[in-house]
Amino acid sequence: RDKIPHLPEIHVESSLNLLLRRAKENRTVDIEEYETTGGYSALKKALNKFSPEDIVVLVEESTLRGRGGAGFPTGRKWRFALMNPPPRYLVCNADESEPGTFKDRIIIERDPHLLLEGMIIAGYALGAKEGYIYIRGEYPAGYLILENAIKEAKDRGYLGKNILGTDFSFDIKVYRGAGAYICGEETALLESLEGKRGHPRLRPPYPAQSGLYGKPTVVNNVETLSNIPIIVTYEAYFMNIGPSGFYGPKLFPVSGKVEKPGVYEATMDITLRELIEMAGGVKGGKQVKAVFAGALGVYREDELDMPMDYSPKGFGGTGTTIVLDEDDCVIDALLVVTQFFHHESCGKCTPCRIGTYEQHQILKKLKEGKATHKDIDYLRHLSQNIPANSICGLGFSAPNAVSDVLRKFPEEVEAHLKGKCRICG
Ligand code: NAD
Ligand code: SF4
């Protein structure tokens, strides 16, 4: 514990007290405090009251959607894995790296046993004997905290052989990434776990069918797995939390020009406008110009009333909200995003490797007032062709922000073409 680096100050607020119940203060909750505040009672309930199949049905009925960004129904993913013979693996994707996303780290750093409890219950439901947590290399404190929490859980019989005196045995190992965003893509993550270069595999087959070492593997995000103890505790009452079809708590990392940047827990019927208000509103009482939603896209002020759910008209994704105000240049923000995708492209597909580079070069020209309408047409062409000819989520989403800015902020693009941006000069 002495070796654990100082945790960064991140503001945390919750109107629900579920996922963030123990995570409000900037410190790690140890196993004693976790137990005295109800921790590991969901695991005891799961092992005493439910069969593995009961747990899978509970998760299916909860309609829990994956919190890593795609919103795929968790119960359905588990069911797919169960259709394939053991051995099965459980992998927790803790390679949180999407621009502006820092929600999973709050659970890992402050309430690690919540994640471990979720993983142990998931392991029981899936008939898995081994679980892995793949944590991004830039979370050194999180890595040490998880290692320590695993040791605590083993000492108290929650992990290892014959958990709590039952015939269920399960172990968890933590694996550190080395700083590549692409290793958050689930198949690249599995390659990396196997000790190979982190390049995505073609899907299908999905990991649920053929994952780690070619065996059925469930890859779930940190926040998704942390919902499992809550589902087991609340059972059918879980469906009273949040709007129909999008049940359960959700974490929203909010940053940029807001009064109180931080991680917020709310139900998914909260709108983007309400979320920004929850974060204290725009800094200095200014107007929202744009919201960058991680890799998902860019929204205008007149779209702020959308719900933060996974419906076609909802915000979706990881819930990442980066707020730009009236004095921010949208092209400046776009340059940061395109530089990121160019840098992080693994290079396996030529349209992604070259296209992300070209996107960034054209935007640099635009910023300098040297781009032409022909360049903008080429940007549009790239926005269609990079995703159409790429094999993984990075290539699919790399042009999202670019095409949104071209479509939703034409006046900003035009001002830069004329070299007359009010903000850049
Ligand atoms: P996806 O929609 O292709 O898949 C989502 C999940 O469902 C995967 O686990 C996949 O294996 C599973 N799945 C889908 N169809 C299936 C089927 N027929 N059978 C079995 N399983 C199936 O999305 P993706 O490419 O895995 O992920 C993209 C998302 O990741 C984006 O929304 C992006 O926002 C997000 N992302 C998040 C971060 C982060 O830091 N949290 C980083 C990068 C990307
Ligand atoms: Fe690599 Fe991009 Fe192809 Fe994904 S789309 S495999 S990141 S080159």
- Centroid of ligand 1 to alpha carbon of 305 (angstroms): 26
Q: Does the Cβ of 117 fall within 6 Å of ligand 1?
A: no
Q: How far is CA 57 from the centre of its chain?
A: 24
pLDDT tens digits for 281-339? Answer: 999 999 999 999 988 999 999 999 999 999 999 999 999 999 999 999 999 999 999 99
Q: How far is CA 397 from the centre of its chain?
A: 14
- State the pLDDT at residue 1: 57
| Distance, CA of 96 to CA of 101 (rounded, Å) | 7
In percent, the amount of the chain with pLDDT more than 70 equals 100
- Closest Cα to atom 1 of ligand 2: 346
In 246-331, DSSP assigns E strands to 250-256, 262-266, 288-292, 298-300, 321-325
Q: Does the Cβ of 309 fall within 6 Å of ligand 1?
A: no
Q: What is the mean pLDDT of residues 405-423?
A: 95
pLDDT tens digits for 116-140? Answer: 999 999 999 999 999 999 999 999 9
Q: Does the Cβ of 345 fall within 6 Å of ligand 1?
A: no
Reported as a pLDDT band with limits 50, 70 and 90, residue 4 is confident
Length of the chain: 425
Q: What is the mean pLDDT of residues 6-33?
A: 96
- State the pLDDT at residue 278: 98
ipTM here: 0.98
> Any idea which ligand is nearest the CA of 96?
1
- Centroid of ligand 2 to alpha carbon of 1 (angstroms): 38
Q: Does the Cβ of 344 fall within 6 Å of ligand 1?
A: no
Q: Are 142 and 65 within 8 A, CB to CB?
A: no
- Centroid of ligand 1 to alpha carbon of 28 (angstroms): 29
Long-range contacts of 309-312 (CB under 8 A, 24+ apart): 309/243, 309/245, 309/246, 309/268, 309/269, 310/65, 310/71, 310/246, 310/268, 311/245, 311/246
- Mean pLDDT, the chain, rounded, equals 97
- Closest Cα to atom 5 of ligand 2: 395
- State the pLDDT at residue 132: 98
pLDDT tens digits for 38-84? Answer: 999 999 999 999 999 999 999 999 999 999 999 999 999 999 999 99
Q: Are 280 and 258 within 8 A, CB to CB?
A: yes
- Centroid of ligand 2 to alpha carbon of 261 (angstroms): 31
- Centroid of ligand 2 to alpha carbon of 405 (angstroms): 23
Alpha-carbon separation of residue 414 from 331, 360, 372, 378, 422 (angstroms): 11, 18, 10, 15, 12
- State the pLDDT at residue 295: 84
- State the pLDDT at residue 125: 98
Query: 290 burial class (0-12, 13-18, 19+ CB within 10 angstroms)?
Result: buried
* Closest to 89 (Cα-Cα) out of 175, 264, 209, 4: 209
- State the pLDDT at residue 3: 73
Q: Does the Cβ of 182 fall within 6 Å of ligand 2?
A: yes
Q: What is the mean pLDDT of residues 177-200?
A: 97
CB atoms near residue 289 (< 10 Å): 21
* Whole-number CA gyration radius for the chain: 22
Q: Does the Cβ of 386 fall within 6 Å of ligand 2?
A: no
Render the burial of 382-409: b for 16+ CB within 10 Å, e for the rest: bbeebbeebbbbbbebbbbbbbbbbebb
First to last CA, the chain: 51
Q: Does the Cβ of 346 fall within 6 Å of ligand 2?
A: yes
Reported as a pLDDT band with limits 50, 70 and 90, residue 6 is confident
* Closest to 317 (Cα-Cα) out of 230, 226, 400: 400
Q: What is the mean pLDDT of residues 262-284?
A: 98
**CA atoms within 13 Å, Cβ hemisphere of 419:** 6
- State the pLDDT at residue 424: 83
pLDDT tens digits for 368-410? Answer: 999 999 999 999 999 999 999 999 999 999 999 999 999 999 9
Ligand 2 atom nearest to CA at 344: 7
| Distance, CA of 350 to CA of 386 (rounded, Å) | 9
- Centroid of ligand 1 to alpha carbon of 71 (angstroms): 8
- State the pLDDT at residue 235: 98
| Distance, CA of 395 to CA of 405 (rounded, Å) | 18
Render the burial of 318-357: b for 16+ CB within 10 Å, e for the rest: bbbbbbbbeebbbbebbbebbbbbbebbbebbebbbebbb
Q: Which residues, other chains included, contact 183 with Cβ-Cβ below 8 Å and sequence gap of 6+?
A: 95, 134, 136, 177, 189, 192, 198
| Distance, CA of 350 to CA of 355 (rounded, Å) | 8
Say if residue 220's pLDDT is above 90.
yes
Q: Does the Cβ of 253 fall within 6 Å of ligand 1?
A: no
- Closest Cα to atom 4 of ligand 1: 70
Q: Does the Cβ of 186 fall within 6 Å of ligand 1?
A: yes
Q: Which residues, other chains included, contact 380 with Cβ-Cβ below 8 Å and sequence gap of 6+?
A: 403, 406
Ligand 1: residue of 98, 126, 352 to mutate (most ligand atoms within 8 A of CB) is 98
Ligand 1 atom nearest to CA at 104: 41
Q: Does the Cβ of 328 fall within 6 Å of ligand 1?
A: no
Q: What letter would DSSP give residue 21?
A: T
In percent, the amount of the chain with pLDDT more than 90 equals 96
- State the pLDDT at residue 2: 57
Say if residue 169's pLDDT is above 90.
yes
What pTM does this model have? 0.97
- Pull the structure tokens for residue 411: 């006046």
Q: What is the mean pLDDT of residues 203-222?
A: 98
| Distance, CA of 306 to CA of 141 (rounded, Å) | 35
Q: Are 259 and 280 within 8 A, CB to CB?
A: yes
- Centroid of ligand 2 to alpha carbon of 342 (angstroms): 10
